[in-house]
Structure 1
Amino acid sequence: MAIGSVQEYFKKWGKDKDILEFVTSSATVELAAQSIGVEPARIAKTICFKNGEGAMLIVTAGDTKTDNRKFKDEFGFKAKMLTPDETLQYTGHAVGGVCPFGLENDIPVFLDKSLKRFVSVYPACGSSNSAIKLTCEELHKYSQNKKWIDVGKGWEDK
């Protein structure tokens, strides 16, 4: 189970015991928000994109969609999401539990500025019924964020 790799990953910071596990599914933004009891925007969703022959992860606020123009301006190529099978292959996490922690491969991680409006956010932890509460500074550190980017849309007016 991928949550095991995330628990192991967080041990080096003593954060493995902070992982929340739910009896209900948290596989979507809405289900995660219900399980945790927060607004959906505070769910830090991880999206997997093709990056040449490899993959990359972008973590955004739960109410944010990818702006294709901003993505292309930032990275120089068109946004193309990985299939569920590719996502599992590159990250070691199945869709519904994808996160930037305990990854199967060394994949670049980018955090979208839509997250910065919150004191804390809740990314998944490798399974469809897990999350962890992190500040944006902690998320930056633990995800090994390459840089903060602006590729989101739909959240600015909220």
Structure 2
Amino acid sequence: MIGLRDADNGNVLWLTVACGSLRGAVAEWEAIRAYMEEGPAALPEPPPEEFEEGTVAFFHMARIGYRDNFPWLQYVFGFLFVQAFGGWTLPCHLSNWVNNRPRATFPKVVREWSRPLPVDQQAVPSEALVKESDEVRKAFRRGQTLLDYFKVKFAEPA
């Protein structure tokens, strides 16, 4: 978790970022810091656009590359001849059709049950949860981390 403190009112915005280690978390924070200080100029150049293998666009990119980089005879017999017997772009179109077919959906009963509840029917936080949240916010203002707060909290006798 990365906490961003608002300098005006002291509120902390917590971002949950998947980091496998402390080193990963520090690297993530460094990337955010560099962007905040240097702006979009800190971003690396985007990689060149590449086509997904098996698409029609990839087929045409490969065809043009083969045509431009090989002798004419090798292009005709090494690419066009093989592709003609391989179905040309038919396999690409078939894979697009298979991948873009509608997915199975939940039954109507499940979709109706899964709709959000109206606001008046939603559960409200318990008084204990509200109290605990206030205590955590106070601990943050004192400079404690979430781990420090719970270490102290669990060390107190119940």
After TM superposition, the score normalised by the length of structure 1 is 0.20
Query: Which has the larger Rg?
Result: 2
The structure carrying a bigger helix percent of its residues is 2
Q: Which has the higher contact order (CA 8 A, sep 6+)?
A: 1
After TM superposition, the score normalised by the length of structure 2 is 0.20
